[in-house]
Amino acid sequence: MKIYNTFTRKKEAFEPLAPGHVRMYVCGITAYDRCHIGHARSAVVFDAVLRHLRHRGFEVNFIRNFTDIDDKIINRAIEEKISPEALAEREIKHFYQDTDALGVLRATKEPRATEHIQEIIELIETLIDKGHAYASGGDIYFSVRSFTGYGALSGRNV
């Protein structure tokens, strides 16, 4: 099986890190509004990839996250006068209804951002301590200039 390698910009033979096993991570929704066609496209495309890998005999550990807290969620929850948790839960439920209607398989695991807040904080602190991130205006930004390989995947120079 060959796949397109974005980094080399070539089709290459697919070789998993562990023979017979594939780990696949896909960004899921930010749960503040109903799903749109872009969400459906991602779900259907990676469902096809998952099914193909399984058909080829691979054991697939498929992880798709849910961003269940961020500024968009908080702001929408304030508008609707509900808690951010209730909003995120409602939109994740709608995501499942939509993807189930499309016949999309569920991921092996679907972690939520709120389940990993402490780890996220620790990673951000490490990035800041090592000079790879900085604070500005109450937000934290990745310092792209601190990583010499930044832009290599997209083919852009910073």
pLDDT in tens, 102-141: 999 999 999 999 999 999 999 999 999 999 999 999 999 9
- Both 16 and 37 in a single domain? yes
User: Do residues 68 and 127 both lie within one domain?
Assistant: no
> How much is the pLDDT for 157?
83
Q: Which structural domain range is residue 130 located in?
A: 116-158
Distance CA 22, CA 94 (A): 28
Whether residue 57 sits in one domain with residue 124: no
Alpha carbon of 4 to those of 20, 23, 134: distances in Å? 19, 17, 34
Whether 34 and 97 map to the same domain: the answer is yes
Contact residues for 102 (Cβ-Cβ < 8 A; gap 6+):
40, 43, 44, 47
Distance, first Cα to last Cα, the chain:
34
Q: What value does the CA radius of gyration of the chain take, rounded to a whole number of Å? A: 19
One domain for residues 56 and 131: no
Whole-model pTM over 0.95: no
* Residue 26 and residue 87 in one domain: yes
Number of domains in the chain: 2
Is the same domain home to 61 and 105? yes
